[in-house]
């Protein structure tokens, strides 16, 4: 990504501010993606993760209906709408999300039993792609964090199989090591290709990767196997 680094900014440790908070603030100020997002009107640097994944996998080409799981603060939906203002987008997040023109936003927990049906009702049609940038709150225990994240990925996959049109795609955030073998096997039952990718916009020290499942086979095809 172009844009230049510029002089590195340092942040003084203010009274009452933790050293870790100072390091985070310093990293933000010196992050070229943060600066680029601010200059281009994206709500977060995460927008560039989707832009880079789209450039590699052609995720958003011709899409007309999108579900954005874990929409806050809205960067991914901004990318979708900038690609095509006519694309229908429905997003959900437990956190409040400022309105985005042309996007329906539900403030609720995706793991709530009522959430999938609410999303389907609001979308009103089959989706071309289900995007999930959801992440479980980490507790610092790698095995626990991995299990909690995989639970979200699996729930997103099950929802995707209910709402996607044949040929559709599902993209979800996973942790280092990617989706586990059982989940990958299940994804391969439903999609023609399943790959893992770490877009350049993901920080090198971050454990996040993305699983990209494309070519949804359709419910009838899977049930016939």
Rounded to whole angstroms, how far apart are CA atoms 118 and 123? 9
DSSP state, 168?
E
For residue 109, say whether it is annotated as part of any ligand binding site: yes
For residue 133, say whether it is annotated as part of any ligand binding site: yes
Residue 173 is a catalytic residue:
yes
For residue 54, say whether it is annotated as part of any ligand binding site: no
For residue 76, say whether it is annotated as part of any ligand binding site: yes
Phi, psi at residue 105, to the nearest 5°? -120, 125
Catalytic residue among 49, 81, 173, 217: 173
Q: Which pair of tokens denotes residue 152?
A: 């979200």
CA dihedral 81, 166, 69, 98 (to 10 degrees): 20
Query: How many angstroms separate the Cα of 214 from the Cα of each of 6, 36, 145, 149?
Result: 39, 29, 26, 21
As to burial, measured by CB atoms within 10 angstroms (0-12 exposed, 13-18 middle, 19+ buried), residue 32 is middle
Alpha-helical runs (H) found in 41-107: 47-57, 75-83
Rounded to whole angstroms, how far apart are CA atoms 214 and 195? 9
- Active-site residue numbers? 173
Annotated binding site for S-adenosyl-L-methionine: 74, 76, 93, 109, 133
Annotated binding site: 74, 76, 93, 109, 133
């Amino acid at each position: 990504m172009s844009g230049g680094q510029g002089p590195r900014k340092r942040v003084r440790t203010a009274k009452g501010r933790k050293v870790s908070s100072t390091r985070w603030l310093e990293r933000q100020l010196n992050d070229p993606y943060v600066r680029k997002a601010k200059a281009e009107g994206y709500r977060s640097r995460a927008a560039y993760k989707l832009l880079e994944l789209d450039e590699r996998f052609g995720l958003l080409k011709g899409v007309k209906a999108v579900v954005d799981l874990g929409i806050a603060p809205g960067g991914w939906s901004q990318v979708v709408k900038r690609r095509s203002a006519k694309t229908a987008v429905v997003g959900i997040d437990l956190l409040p999300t400022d309105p985005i023109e042309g996007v329906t936003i539900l403030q609720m927990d995706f793991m709530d039993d009522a959430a999938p049906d609410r999303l389907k009702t609001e979308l009103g049609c089959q989706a071309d792609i289900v995007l999930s940038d959801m992440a479980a709150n980490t507790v610092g225990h790698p095995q626990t964090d991995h299990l909690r994240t995989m639970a979200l990925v699996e729930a997103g996959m099950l929802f995707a199989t209910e709402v996607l049109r044949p040929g559709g795609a599902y993209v979800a955030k996973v942790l280092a090591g990617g989706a586990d073998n059982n989940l990958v096997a299940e994804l391969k039952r439903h999609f023609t290709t399943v790959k893992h990718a770490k877009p350049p916009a993901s920080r090198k020290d971050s454990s996040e990767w993305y699983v990209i499942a494309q070519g949804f086979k359709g419910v009838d095809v899977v049930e016939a196997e």
